[in-house]
Amino acid sequence: MRDLVSSAEFAEGLQQHLWRNENPASNWVSTARIKVRKQDQELYEVIVGSFQGTAPNQINCFDCPLRDVAVRIRSDVKNVSVDYWKRLAQFILTNCHVILINTTNIDDGYRLFRSINTLGQPLTDLDIARSHVIANTENGEELANIWDHIAESLSQEELRGYVYSAVSFVDPDLEGLDLHQAMRDILRQPLAEYKLRKTLASFLEFHKKIDEGDLGFSVGGPKINLILKYLKVLPFDHWRAGTLLWLSRSPDAAQTLRFLRALDALCTGLVVLGSVTNTIGNRFRKIRARIETGTVLSDPSSEIYLTNSEKEKIRERLSSPISPKAKFLRYVMLRLNAEMLDKAFEGEVKLDIEIEHVLPQKPSPKSVWIDDFPDRHRRLLLCQLLGNLAILSKPINIRAKNYDFHKKRDAIFGTSGSNTFPVTADLVHYQTWTEKEILLRHEKLLRIAERVMNPAVLPQ
């Protein structure tokens, strides 16, 4: 309104309602009269701090709600008379008021909101959870920023599942109820309400640390954070809620390293087994229950450990020829590569990798590979073994795939780009590439895989 009225005097009057000028006598500093979200406050002060601050060319931000609002209003009312703005402003300032109503319990608050909000946006279960944990927590503003950051990166359903995990941790008997009903049941119980608030606050703080890739441990921190990097690129996210619950119990670095190693072994195994979402979800529900009872690591039958039957199936799958279309192949190669690093990896995990077969899948008829591997069936079997695989940061020229081993080793696997992957750089140590070398490297990679799947996590 300030920027759309033509009268400078009227606009100045409106500005006094937007911005409070400095007044030494009252010990006032110059500031906007309204405080908004921390991440929006700076832009908000730019908009209300100067005349024509709502003009699109004055808002140096192209992906923020405040700019969208300003642009939308200007677009919707571009033909409205200036007199309309004056009358609307006068009506708001003289006839409209903000009333704060406090209720003594969440049920009354929700009932009141529904009754007076019939034309507005319905209050969701997530709104209730967010407002409650933030309003009753000492560091509420910081938690609000973390919550909003998470909400921007997750869908509503993902965020709801995240909050529901916290609710089920507080009271397992509520599992199966919709989140709104579960929240209302918890908030009727002072102890449960306190536990929920603490759990959500802890989850939000640790969620941020997980996203940043640093859990903050000084002793063993690099090893812990390295495992975390590879958990974060798993094709499923069920491990996160269990990890948040584990961290909320304030374990030390040694315990956390044992937990993450076991979790890493399980998740890698589930990827190789091709477990479906429901199976993974059920497994992690049992793991969360184990964390609650304190038996997740101490009990050899804990669901966080792969069973002997699962290990046998994993070994059989990794020992056999692996189709290039196998969904687990990319992650397994990245995980084997991580295990071969001789120090904590400080960079980001590269997901845009290419799987390369040292012995080509389809060698040219005149290629030396045909002479070295004349039996077509045997050649295809060896080609798809784990020991014949490498990872590259970018695809190679189709002609280069048919290079003989020495040329391929020096021109492709020996380049600085490939040497960022130890599992690939390892190939430069081989002088020939026959069935013997493929099988030797195959057994080597299988031993590394078994080391990943069998972490030394049980007490001695």
Query: Residue 199's closest CA among 238, 246, 156?
Result: 246
Residue 227 is encoded by which pair of tokens? 């495992």
Q: How many C-beta atoms lie closer than 10 Å to residue 255's C-beta?
A: 14
pLDDT recorded at residue 135: 62
DSSP E strand boundaries for 255-396: 354-357, 389-392
Residue 69 is encoded by which pair of tokens? 């609002």
pLDDT recorded at residue 259: 95
Where helices occur in 125-213 by DSSP H, the ranges are: 125-135, 140-153, 156-170, 179-187, 190-212
* Local confidence pLDDT in tens for the 460 residues of the chain: 888 887 888 999 999 999 998 989 988 899 999 888 777 888 888 888 888 888 877 777 766 778 888 888 888 877 778 788 889 999 999 999 988 888 876 667 767 776 776 666 666 777 777 776 666 556 666 667 767 776 766 667 767 766 776 777 777 777 667 777 777 777 777 788 777 777 777 777 787 788 788 888 887 888 888 888 888 888 888 888 788 888 888 889 999 999 999 999 999 999 999 999 889 988 988 998 898 889 999 999 999 999 999 999 999 999 999 998 899 998 999 889 888 875 545 555 666 788 889 999 888 888 889 989 999 999 999 999 999 999 887 776 666 677 788 888 877 776 554 456 888 888 888 889 999 999 999 999 999 999 888 876 333 3
Query: Residue 373's closest CA among 440, 446, 438?
Result: 438
Query: Residue 357's closest CA among 326, 390, 406?
Result: 390
What is the Cα–Cα distance from 332 to 280, expressed in whole angstroms?
A: 18
Centroid of chain to Cα 331: 17
* Residue keyed to tokens 């709600």: 65
What is the Cα–Cα distance from 336 to 414, expressed in whole angstroms?
A: 19
pLDDT recorded at residue 351: 65
What is the Cα–Cα distance from 295 to 363, expressed in whole angstroms?
A: 53
DSSP string, 406-456: HHHIIIIITSTTGGGSHHHHGGGG-S--SHHHHHHHHHHHHHHHHHHHS-S
What is the Cα–Cα distance from 230 to 3, expressed in whole angstroms?
A: 52
Phi, psi of 28 (to 5 degrees): -100, 140
Please name every residue paired with 392 in a beta bridge, in sequence order, or none if there are none. 354
What is the Cα–Cα distance from 315 to 325, expressed in whole angstroms?
A: 19
What is the Cα–Cα distance from 164 to 170, expressed in whole angstroms?
A: 10
Q: How many C-beta atoms lie closer than 10 Å to residue 391's C-beta?
A: 21
User: Taking the alpha carbons of 439, 440, 445, 447 in that order, is the dihedral positive or negative?
Assistant: positive
Residue 304 is encoded by which pair of tokens? 């966080």
Query: Residue 171's closest CA among 146, 138, 193, 156?
Result: 193
pLDDT recorded at residue 168: 72
**What are the distances in angstroms from CA 326 to CA 258, 271, 339, 423?**
30, 10, 21, 19
pTM of the model: 0.65
Tell me if 391 sits within 8 A of 405, measured CB to CB: no
pLDDT recorded at residue 414: 65
Amino acid at 150: I
Q: What is the DSSP letter of 28?
A: B
Tell me if 386 sits within 8 A of 318, measured CB to CB: yes
3-state helix, strand, coil in the chain (%, to 5): 60, 5, 35
